[in-house]
Structure 1
Amino acid sequence: MSAISALLLSLTAAIAVIDGDTFDVGDERVRIANIDAPELHRAKCDAEKRLAELARKRLEELLAGDIEIVPGDPGTGRTKDRHGRTLATIKSGGADIGELMIAEGLVRPWEGKRRPWCTKD
């Protein structure tokens, strides 16, 4: 996490949003610890794909301002997920971006495992 802190302090790293809960800061991939976003690249239905795109666009908007990256998952204390991504809470203007996106209905709280976004008809 020291690399990400240095990047933020220097403000030289570009942020690239991958999907509704993951983004890159320089060479560091960050996953927002407290949310589960619909899959953008592995969507199981059209509704999931549409919501995933809305979540990605909203995260881009929220990360465009001044942000604070708080390292670690507040629920588990882990600093990395099983894919090696840095886990962090992201704040903008003091507000938790994950909680904001949950309130907007674009993502849901992370409950320790992935749940399906598509309903069976």
Structure 2
Amino acid sequence: MGDVVGFRKRRRSRSRRRGLLETPWLIPALVVMAVAGFYGRDAISDATGLGLISNSSVAAGRGSFRECYTPLDRTCVIDGDTIRLKGEKIRLLDIDAPEVRDYKCASEKERGDRATLRLVEILNSGTVSIERKGSRDVDQYGRSLRIVQVDGRSAGGILVAEGLARPWSGKRRPWCL
């Protein structure tokens, strides 16, 4: 007799779980949320016609670039020398900017944050062109190596002139003294 009661209790809990999954609105709602999370943030950016084609200009509408918040963000600024354009990671070939994640000191983090925000402003200020240059196409982390220009000016060069980055010398140097 005790087995029958235990069986009924287990059966009831299973039916509750099954009932939740069989709710007619749950699965469609989860699908809509997943699609909106993946595409929704970049729908405006993608509508402006951004695309990565080497040695070409792409029109960047105002506000097309912003800071990256999740790995699902497709067009955004990761840090002062790395962007994501339609899902492709691009490393600005001509500069080295301070780190915002694996920083060695507070001043490096602070300068890296300023470089990131400034790069967002620069990229949103005009027509962005992406140019392949040199023999290396991809770095050790799988990022495309490109010169990024806005209205004919190097985005990296602007950061260097403002003291938020330095010219790339071929190797990383410390930002902390």
Whether the TM-score (by the shorter chain) exceeds 0.5 is: yes
Aligned structure 1 segments of 4 or more residues deviating by more than 4 angstroms: 8-11
Shift of 1:44: 0.7
Amino acid paired to 1:17:
V
Shift of 1:62: 0.9
1:5 and 2:61 correspond: no
Equivalent residue, structure 2, for 1:114 = 172
Equivalent residue, structure 2, for 1:29 = 89
Amino acid paired to 2:52:
I
For 1:9 and 1:67, the matched residues in 2 are separated by 6
Structure with the larger helix share: 2
Equivalent residue, structure 2, for 1:92 = 150
Which structure 2 segments of 5+ residues have no match?
1-50, 65-73
Aligned partner of residue 175 in structure 2, secondary structure: coil
For 1:4 and 1:25, the matched residues in 2 are separated by 7
Which of 69, 75, 100 does residue 130 from structure 2 map onto? 69
Structure with the larger strand share: 1
Number of residue pairs aligned between Structure 1 and Structure 2: 113
Amino acid paired to 1:114:
R
Post-superposition CA distance 1:5-52 (Å, at most 9, x none): 19x7597x8521000000101121000001000000011111001000
For 1:9 and 1:19, the matched residues in 2 are separated by 21
Shift of 1:87: 0.5
Aligned partner of residue 50 in structure 1, secondary structure: helix
For 1:97 and 1:16, the matched residues in 2 are separated by 14
CA contact (8 A) 2:58 2:127 kept: no
Larger Rg: 2
Higher RCO (C-alpha 8 Å, min separation 6): 1
**Percentage of identical aligned residues:** 40
Length-normalised TM-score, structure 2: 0.59
